[in-house]
Amino acid sequence: MNKRLAAVVAMLLVSSMSVAAEYNSRVIKFAATSPKGTPPAIGMELFAKQVEARSGGKIKVRTFPNGVLGGDVQVLSSLQGGVIEMMTWNAGLMLNHVTDFGILDFPFLYTDTAKVDAMLDGEVGKMLTDQLPEKNLVGLAFWELGVRNLSNNVRPVQKMDDIAGLKIRAQQSPLFLDVWTALGANPTPLPFTEVHTALETGTVDGQENPAALILASKFNEVQKYLSLTRHNYNPQIVLIGKTFWDSLNADEQKLLSEVAMEVRLEQRRISREADGKAIAELQASGMQVNELPAEEVARIQQTIRPVISKYAAQINPELVRKVYQAMDFNPQ
């Protein structure tokens, strides 16, 4: 951990030290598919250090980044079954379990990070996490993965028409499959842990992820073109299995909740700082990087509008209204 992160941890420990709290000896397995060194994995490390320190060493958090415990879908199932205690995951992919979460994956909607932070830390975030216990899950906080960009091995994507015909690895979500299909691509749903091999063998032409994750995953070694489409913002939700949560006492629950929320601030800062640095490194490594013109973004938005309308119709209308209001978005 660098000096800045160490200072942040020390400050949070001093400001949030629990007095006469009761903690039992526990080991928590905390998993993610994000590689070590990426913002989500760094957030996990911060969380682990603070929980252990503030519990007097009684609660230890073992972090398992890089998909070592399985892909996202597999890990979530293990979380619900009590095999793993915690994970951090792209929040929008909870669509497959709680339909309302799908709104977090609406493309080109979350462009103002200050508004996004206020929305997720406030009423909208609570409306979403309140639905998780019935799925045997508890949401502790919203962190972030970053803004997604498109890479491929066929050609630079400089206009919407360049997307047509590309075989793109898509996240395992019906919304993403519909979005890429509407743009003329051939989406292939794959777990993140299989993406590098699929790119290397040509099973797919491209993928889309935040720059820091592309760099950490070494996709630049098997991808030639990076187009800064910035089509999706990915909040990450910190999840804990409800069965395990219910086994904790009130002090332990309070500690885990507080630390997850406190870490979110530094984790988001790290993520946003890493984005620009990663783009520069990817370009320096040999990737051809290009911006997507505003008029082409507008074309894409118009083309996928029916897809957004389809999924918005499946979501709680009050939630849709609050999200659009928070983001100053007019769907008309």
pLDDT in tens, 157-200: 999 999 999 999 998 889 999 999 999 999 999 989 899 999 99
pLDDT in tens, 280-297: 999 999 999 999 999 999
Cβ–Cβ < 8 Å for 134, 34: no
> What pLDDT does residue 197 have?
97
Percent above pLDDT 70 for the chain:
94
> What pLDDT does residue 59 have?
98
Q: What are phi and psi of 146, to 5 degrees?
A: 130, -160
> What pLDDT does residue 13 have?
56
pLDDT band at residue 2, thresholds of 50, 70 and 90?
low
Return d(Cα 7, Cα 326) in angstroms, integer.
Answer: 33
> What pLDDT does residue 1 have?
56
> What pLDDT does residue 20 have?
67
| Domain ranges, ordered by start, for the chain | 3-326
> What pLDDT does residue 18 have?
44
Task: Average the pLDDT over 106-125 and give the result.
Answer: 96
Residue 9, pLDDT > 80, answer no
Domain 3-326 = CATH 3.40.190.170: yes
Residues ≥6 apart with Cβ < 8 Å to 299:
159, 160
pLDDT band at residue 279, thresholds of 50, 70 and 90?
very high
| Lowest mean pLDDT segment, chosen from 5-9, 44-48, 210-214 | 5-9
Task: Average the pLDDT over 137-143 and give the result.
Answer: 98
Task: Average the pLDDT over 38-62 and give the result.
Answer: 97
> What pLDDT does residue 89 have?
92
Residue 5, pLDDT > 80, answer no
Cβ–Cβ < 8 Å for 138, 252: no
Task: Average the pLDDT over 318-323 and give the result.
Answer: 97
Q: Which long-range contacts (CB under 8 A, 24 or more apart) does 155-163 make?
A: 155/225, 156/225, 156/227, 156/288, 156/290, 157/225, 157/227, 157/229, 157/290, 157/292, 158/227, 158/290, 158/292, 158/293, 158/296, 159/292, 159/293, 159/296, 159/299, 160/296, 160/299, 160/300, 160/303
pLDDT in tens, 208-261: 999 999 999 999 999 999 999 999 999 999 999 999 999 999 999 999 999 999
- Which of 147, 153, 158 lies closest to 169 in space, CA to CA? 153
The residues pairing with 232 across neighbouring beta strands, listed in sequence order, are: 148
pLDDT band at residue 122, thresholds of 50, 70 and 90?
very high
> What pLDDT does residue 93 have?
87
The region that residue 70 occupies, defined by phi over 0 for left and psi between -120 and 50 for alpha, beta otherwise, is: left
What global pTM score does this model have? 0.88
- Which of 43, 51, 58, 59 lies closest to 13 in space, CA to CA? 51
Return d(Cα 176, Cα 312) in angstroms, integer.
Answer: 14
Unique residue bearing structure tokens 């051939």: 186
> What pLDDT does residue 208 have?
97
Task: Average the pLDDT over 261-277 and give the result.
Answer: 96
